[in-house]
Amino acid sequence: MVCCFAPGCSHRSSHETCSFYRFPANVFQRRVWIRAIRRADKPNACSRICSCHFPLQKRKRPVSFEA
């Protein structure tokens, strides 16, 4: 089961209809995502962000979250 890595999000692949995206392999784009989600811990290879956190179904960068 996949869980969303975004802070405060409890979406899980077994219960939601949204899609789940891996963090980009590109180092620059990955940093953009990490800054946007504002978590103290870093994502690992299994971390995903659900599609609910992307404006207009664009995956360039998730929306920013409160610190």
For 41-61, the pLDDT digits (tens) are: 999 999 999 988 887 656 666
Burial readout 25-50 (b: 16 or more C-beta within 10 A, e: otherwise) = eeeeeeeebbeebeeeeebeeebbbb
Helices (H), 1-67: 27-37
Q: How confident is the model at residue 22 (pLDDT cuts 50, 70, 90)?
A: very high
Provide the 8-state DSSP code for 23. P
The total number of structural domains in the chain stands at 1
Give the range of the structural domain holding residue 37, as residue numbers without chain letter: 1-67
Question: Would you state the pLDDT for residue 55?
Answer: 75
Full-prediction pTM beyond 0.85?
no
Asked whether 28 and 35 are in contact (CB, 8 A), the reply is no
Question: Can you give the pLDDT at residue 54?
Answer: 81
Q: How far is CA 37 from the centre of its chain?
A: 7
pLDDT (0 to 100) of residue 67? 42
